[in-house]
């Protein structure tokens, strides 16, 4: 099967983008963007609903992320982002909020997008399990426990000093597993990641992280960490953020991203690697793998070029994520 035909037939699931911030007018990658209507095909940003469908994406996780200026009112900011996305899906029949693996398959069959809501940074729940439950009740199905900073749950990878998962953080992980919410360990300090791995009973994901063996960036994962995440039944999502691919922006290319994917597969196994592009969450000066999400067919082409079997391409592009969604969310 040629690359274009295969890509059209794939179930494509992307585990992370920051486009919800663009929809609310607080872009993570370019503050000058302003408010973008993700229901319209545009030439700004990297993701909107028409371009996702054009790219063959079946399901997209949209991160609700709190930047520094909003930290003191993180919960309110996150609710605002959530309501912005709810309104987007309500007025656009090409996408709908997903709550299960079956929602993904149904959307694929109908040529629509299954959209999952995710929280990036547990500041959104403060120190309240009730807030976590409230977000779950409104459709949030994944939470990245920290961003780079420290919060009430754990120490992020960018916070100096010591400390991993807090006692409250242990309760959060247990409650997420009980509810059926995916625990995302991207951005955690090594100590916090160790803590989560020691107590997790359900599959974990690192939604957007690359291979530390290829680039020793603090946000990338060692082979041992990749293996341990895989052992939970979870996965690691290949990200296109230039700073996680190569220190030289000129070397941030699709081929270099594929080098990272090869290493993720080598360390974690082909059943435990997926996509977590981080579209709309990084800036061009650090290098770009592709202009926007419509370049995703080039990834399928690159996997074929590197000799990946069709069955394994299907896993990497989406069915590994589908398995984790089914195992954790239902």
Tens of pLDDT, residue by residue over 216-250, are 999 999 999 999 999 999 999 999 999 999 999 99
Per-residue pLDDT band for 17 (boundaries 50, 70, 90) equals: very high
User: Please, is 34 exposed, middle or buried when counting C-beta atoms within 10 Å of its C-beta (0-12, 13-18, 19+)?
Assistant: exposed
Please check the confidence at residue 29 and state whether its pLDDT lies above 80.
no
Please check the confidence at residue 31 and state whether its pLDDT lies above 90.
no
Q: What does the domain layout of the chain look like in residue ranges? A: 3-329
Collapsed DSSP state (helix, strand, coil) of residue 280: coil
Collapsed DSSP state (helix, strand, coil) of residue 81: helix
Quick one: average pLDDT of 300-309? 98
Supply the pLDDT for residue 1.
84
Quick one: average pLDDT of 106-132? 98
What's this model's pTM, rounded to 2 decimal places?
0.98
Per-residue pLDDT of 267-279, as tens digits, reads 999 999 999 999 9
Please check the confidence at residue 33 and state whether its pLDDT lies above 90.
no
Report which of residues 69 and 244 the model is more confident about.
244
CATH class of the domain defined by 3-329: alpha beta
Q: Name the H helices within the chain.
A: 3-9, 19-23, 49-54, 74-91, 101-110, 129-137, 167-179, 190-199, 223-231, 254-268, 296-305, 310-314, 320-324
Please check the confidence at residue 30 and state whether its pLDDT lies above 80.
no
Per-residue pLDDT band for 72 (boundaries 50, 70, 90) equals: very high
Per-residue pLDDT of 78-98, as tens digits, reads 999 999 999 999 999 999 999
DSSP H/E element including 274: strand 273-275
Supply the pLDDT for residue 34.
81
Supply the pLDDT for residue 104.
98
């Amino acid at each position: 099967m040629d690359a274009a035909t295969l890509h059209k037939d794939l179930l494509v699931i992307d585990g992370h983008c920051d486009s919800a911030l663009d929809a609310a007018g607080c872009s993570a990658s370019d503050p000058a963007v302003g408010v973008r209507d993700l229901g319209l095909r545009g030439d700004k940003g990297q993701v909107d609903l028409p371009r996702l469908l054009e790219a063959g994406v079946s399901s997209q996780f949209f991160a609700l992320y709190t930047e520094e200026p909003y930290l003191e009112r993180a919960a309110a900011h996150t609710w605002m982002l959530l309501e912005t996305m709810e309104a987007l899906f309500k007025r656009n029949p090409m996408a709908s909020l997903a709550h299960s693996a079956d929602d993904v398959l149904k959307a694929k069959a109908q040529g629509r997008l299954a959209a999952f809501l995710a929280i990036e940074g547990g500041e959104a729940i403060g120190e309240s399990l009730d807030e976590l439950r409230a977000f779950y009740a409104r459709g949030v199905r994944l939470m990245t426990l920290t961003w780079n900073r420290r919060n009430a749950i754990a120490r992020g990878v960018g916070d100096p000093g010591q400390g991993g998962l807090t006692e409250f953080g242990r309760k959060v992980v247990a409650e997420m597993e009980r509810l059926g919410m995916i625990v995302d360990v991207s951005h955690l300090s090594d100590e916090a990641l160790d803590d989560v791995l020691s107590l997790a009973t359900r599959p974990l994901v690192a939604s957007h992280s690359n291979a530390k063996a290829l680039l020793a960036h603090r946000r990338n994962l060692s082979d041992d960490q990749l293996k341990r995440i895989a052992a939970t039944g979870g996965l690691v999502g290949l990200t296109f953020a230039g700073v996680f691919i190569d220190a030289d922006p000129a070397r941030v290319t699709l081929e270099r991203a594929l080098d990272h994917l090869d290493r993720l597969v080598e360390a974690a196994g082909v059943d435990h690697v997926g996509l977590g592009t981080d579209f709309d969450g990084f800036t061009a000066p650090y290098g770009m793998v592709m202009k926007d999400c419509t370049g995703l067919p080039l990834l399928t082409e690159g996997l074929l070029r590197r000799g990946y079997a069709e069955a394994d391409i299907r896993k990497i592009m989406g069915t590994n994520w589908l398995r984790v969604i089914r195992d954790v969310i239902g």
